[in-house]
Structure 1
């Protein structure tokens, strides 16, 4: 890295509420750090406070807030990032104490990453709509430009309130225009989907950074952008795939994440039409992640939110090459936990539950890919046979 490029440092703030698991809170802050790195910052330190509930005025208590402010000033911290969505009032009060750093919350960080990742005009419009929807209820708390100009002219009143209303009207107008533009594009995309006929459709879904795009590239022999960063894919990609003599459409779309901002879920609902219209969902899971079961739950909840929870699901446990576990001491008084299961034990445990068909693979190391292709072939061929009973396998 060139010496003249300054690394922007960030610290992360979370709370442990009653009945919260401290290990999970730390895991969430690790994810927040990964988000910051994806956006271009470098993690420096994590701050945690135990509270009954977040403070309505400042999220955390004043003593901890002052500690963070002092640390940020002393260590030239650029960003103080909170692992929850802050209200406009909370953010403004926090900024009164932390004066040397930018204060942002998890939602605005994710919105920033989406803005960086958006490549097509459609994705850019969706992100812009999400940003304005996030901004609208916060205008009063965020609005400070007239305050800075007014000097000693008495209390904030009429003129300031008028300016806030003007700002609100401008934002509402932009939201309305963006919605109209997106509706036009949505109609075009719906026509495109209709023109594909009744071809069998599969859609890759999963938590962000689990390897969906890599699997897409393997199956479709395409060049979808894939890297070890969160939200590497925003725009939906659809490819025609043929396994043996059976064709189908395979789509890859944006990954899900814990606390995915509601503004983004709403803005990207039309993008997720590919998921809603799929015949089968291929749920990709990073088996090497210690919280993979919780990530699966996040995906299942998000699918429910977008109206796609009734689809047949095939689970692809990816990254078996990176799976690690701690051997269980038979003489230990502690009960055996998920961290003590070998990969074989985990496979047998999951398969024995007889819940959802699944496969364990490594897309990176090409482990079990032939079986994955064969499993997909069988599923697609079965649907195809029912859809085209008199025209099977003749092209």
Structure 2
């Protein structure tokens, strides 16, 4: 259904071909402001294959200047990235073919290359694609990474770097890119920021998102991410700082701060990382603590954020990158214990709590071959058992087990054996 925002945007767009270049820029500025107000449904309603085809035709007929097209496309890409949208209409459009051809032609130039135009073209194509042709990856990834190596700290340069990194972060974990196209540059970008704090928070998060997405299918990156670049320390520190800027008392839909979007993005890459991570690091305790803190802060008004925190904590138990002791020290067991007592049978949170303790119990029952590891396992097992007894965990689990229906969609995958939920010393 068309809304006032989409109607106004269409009217402004229809007027573009009748304007000179200066007037086009003014109308595009108005359109950018409208785009920023739009919700997900409005954006998807507007940005169709037909819309992008029309833009392509206007360029061909010289009714719309290329620079203005790129000014129009960048805020679309920005909103697409922040809202995790899939705008599939672009890939089938005439505009995609035209921009891709321009990128290839610009890259081949030996002299007279317009670097700003080249970067803008690459940003728009990477922003708006969902599937990435190899030719785009080999040209656009080095181009955008090179654009992010600028060291000036002016607002203009910071914004340019932010846009380039945000575009790169759109390439999700299933997109394979050869290491030689990005590894030295992305390491330099992250390390330089750690020393000089030259990036915006969104830019820094985007750099990590690009790298973590690569590690999901390239396991050779894991040691560098964990032990050299210190993902646990950096992600936990960023979540702590970002939380200070959010008014958690306001409803999620009322809070338009960019910090909320960046927190969302950190939570997603933490979840992705622990799905693939196999290495332990002492920093995981800090990361667990930061997830617990965000959950507590978001509890009253940000249900989806707290659910994402719970999913991440639950998955870290299943994927075994984090030691059980880290959950105790980081406050996760306290959190899950509290939620177990408060949630209802129909609540996804309750399902995740039961799943968390089931996996904790299973891991602590597994004997190890190394004597030192076995001693540590027994110590942690005793601490966990004492903690669960202190919290009255056993009575809560038994009461739920008596009434829960394992045919319920949230519970059918859980064990029906009551003893599986306990850690016996």
Same fold, TM-score > 0.5, yes or no: no
State the TM-score, normalizing by the size of structure 1.
0.29
Instruction: Decide which structure has greater strand share.
Output: 1
Name the structure, 1 or 2, with higher relative contact order (CA <8 Å, separation 6+).
1
State the TM-score, normalizing by the size of structure 2.
0.27
